[in-house]
Amino acid sequence: MRWSMRRNPTTGRKRHRSRAQRITPPGSLRWKSDIPGGRVPPVFLEVSMHNEVIHIGDIPVKVYTDGGFSRTVLAVHGFGGSKDSLAIEGLAERLCPVGFRVAAPDLPCHGERTEPESRLSPENCISEIMTVEKELSAEYAFGTSFGGALLLRRIELYGDPFRRIVLRVPAVNMADSLLRCMQLFQPGFTLEQAESSGFHVKMSRELNIPYSFYGKLLELNEVRHCAAWNTPDILAVYAGSDELVARKDTEEFLRLNPEMQRLCIEGSGHRMNQKPEYLSAALDRAAEHFTE
Query: What digits encode the pLDDT tens for the residues 11-65?
Result: 344 444 444 333 222 232 233 333 344 344 334 345 579 999 999 999 999 999 9
Question: Which DSSP letter does residue 111 get?
Answer: T
Chain mean pLDDT for the chain: 87
What is the model's pLDDT at position 43? 43
User: Under CATH, which number does the domain 3-172+223-291 receive?
Assistant: 3.40.50.1820
Q: Is the Cβ–Cβ distance between 229 and 156 less than 8 Å?
A: yes
pLDDT tens per residue across span 110-131: 999 999 998 999 999 999 999 9
Distance CA 96, CA 20 (A): 13
Beta-bridge partners for 74: 103, 141
- 90, exposed or middle or buried, with CB in 10 Å at 0-12, 13-18, 19+? buried
Overall average pLDDT of the 139-151 stretch: 99
What is the model's pLDDT at position 30? 33
pLDDT tens per residue across span 161-215: 999 999 999 999 999 999 999 999 899 999 999 999 999 988 777 889 999 999 9
Q: Is the pLDDT of residue 288 over 90?
A: yes
What is the model's pLDDT at position 11? 38
* Sequence spans of domains, the chain: 3-172+223-291
Distance CA 153, CA 228 (A): 10
What is the model's pLDDT at position 47? 55
Which strand (E) or helix (H) includes residue 251?
A: helix 247-256
* 51 CB-near residues (< 8 Å, 6+ apart): 15, 16, 18, 62, 63, 64, 65, 92
Overall average pLDDT of the 147-151 stretch: 99
The structure's pTM equals 0.84
What is the model's pLDDT at position 261? 99
Overall average pLDDT of the 142-158 stretch: 99
- 75, exposed or middle or buried, with CB in 10 Å at 0-12, 13-18, 19+? buried
Question: Which DSSP letter does residue 4 get?
Answer: E
Higher pLDDT, 184 or 229: 229
